[in-house]
Amino acid sequence: MDELEALYRQHGAALLLFASTVSGDRTGAQDALHQVFLKLIENGGLSRAVDKKAYLFACVRNAVLNGSHLQRRKITIEPDSIWFDPPDKDYAAERNLRRALNALPRDQREVVVLHAWGELTFSQIGDLLTASSNTVASRYRYALDKLRESMYPKENSCAGSST
Amino acid sequence: MLDHRHDERFETYLRKFRPQVPDPLPAREMKRASRPHFGLTIWAAGCALTVAILLAATLRIVSQRRAEESHHAAAVKLTVSTPLTMRRANDLLAAAPSYKDLMNQLTFPSNSPLLPKDKQSALAVLSKEKIKL
């Protein structure tokens, strides 16, 4: 149980973000995340999982997809729910990012969240989504381009100031 | 090459947005989830306690019986082997299970095989003899 609590502390934020991007419903995502961890505690942990982090993302994805009515590609994001703590408390940029993520197709959105914030490799994501690493990498590049297009003015200024 | 560098910069920018931390796992649910282990512990402790109580009760009963038997034997022995004095009477009273039992024993003493033949009462000897008329 201690291991699971440590994993929850370590990856909980990324897992919740991933669940939110899949479901679009923050409360539902939170419930799914709790459900996954409580089930794992009940079943005695993650001893059988080889790649524990990837396994957790897969569990959360399954829980969200099984527990929700969404089989559709487009999700409606709750306007008041905040997903990120933005740099410099720039909540307008946070909203832009959420909107840009929402505008992506689900397969691209999943890939970008898993790689950028979940810190999974393309290979791990490929296993999780049953796609090849090349396909995943390609989806990621498309997703980045679209996000950049959506957020360009803000991104340009921030990225420019950081270098 | 330029695109790749551009992507990396954009990635770095995206990662500055930190995903919000989820609510902590509900403690009540966690307790319920881990209850099988707790239940097993309680069950084992209950079993151990029951066994200990049964053992203690058995030992107590056995020791009580032994004490009663030894007291009874001592009383009989005292009754038949030596004459009754005040001191012996007090000893017998202390050892006897009840006052009534002691009085019965003293009043109607049983014939003891340990009593030597020359010390048996004539009446008792005569009562056993078959007198042919």
Q: Name the residue ranges covered by the structural domains of chain B.
A: 70-110
Residue A89 DSSP symbol: G
Q: A45 at the B interface (CB within 8 A)?
A: no
Min CA distance, B67 vs chain A (Å)? Answer: 55
Per-residue pLDDT at B6 exceeds 90: no
CB of A131 closer than 8 Å to CB of A89: no
* Start-to-end Cα distance in chain A: 43
Per-residue pLDDT at B60 exceeds 70: yes
What is the residue whose two structure tokens read 């999780």? A128
Q: How far apart are CA A31 and CA A19, in angstroms?
A: 10
Cβ contact, residue pair B20, A85, below 8 Å: yes
* Chain B residue with the nearest C-alpha to that of A34: B25
In chain A, what's the furthest Cα-to-Cα distance? 49
Q: What percent of chain A has pLDDT over 90?
A: 52
- Cβ-Cβ contacts under 8 Å for B22 (sequence gap 6 or more): A8, A12, A13, A15, A16, A30, A33
Q: Which range (A3-7, A103-107, A117-121, B64-68) has the least confidence?
A: B64-68
Per-residue pLDDT at B106 exceeds 80: no
Q: How far apart are CA B57 and CA B51, in angstroms?
A: 10
Whether this model's pTM surpasses 0.90:
no
Q: How far apart are CA A35 and CA A70, in angstroms?
A: 18
* Chain A residue with the nearest C-alpha to that of B29: A38
Comparing B31 with A118, the larger pLDDT belongs to: A118
Beta bridge partners of B19: A84
* A42, A94, A159 ranked by CB distance to B13: nearest: A159
Cβ contact, residue pair B25, A5, below 8 Å: yes
Beta bridge partners of A84: B19
Per-residue pLDDT at A70 exceeds 70: no
The encoded tokens of residue B133 equal 């008329």
> Quick one: pLDDT at residue A77?
62
Q: How far apart are CA B14 and CA A86, in angstroms?
A: 9
> Quick one: pLDDT at residue A126?
95
Residue ranges with strand state E in chain B: 18-19
Return the CA Rg of chain A: 16
Q: How far apart are CA A11 and CA A58, in angstroms?
A: 13
Min CA distance, B50 vs chain A (Å)? Answer: 30
Cβ contact, residue pair B22, A144, below 8 Å: no
Min CA distance, A28 vs chain B (Å)? Answer: 12
Over residues B14-33, mean pLDDT: 80
Residue B124 binned pLDDT confidence (cut-offs 50, 70, 90): confident
Return the CA Rg of chain B: 43
Min CA distance, B60 vs chain A (Å)? Answer: 45
Amino acid identity of residue A18, one-letter, is F
Query: Mutual orientation of helices A106-116 and A122-129 as an angle, nearest 10°?
Result: 140
Over residues A126-141, mean pLDDT: 95
Residue A73 binned pLDDT confidence (cut-offs 50, 70, 90): very low
Which chain B residues have a beta carbon less than 8 Å from that of A1? Answer: 30, 34
Q: How far apart are CA A18 and CA A84, in angstroms?
A: 12
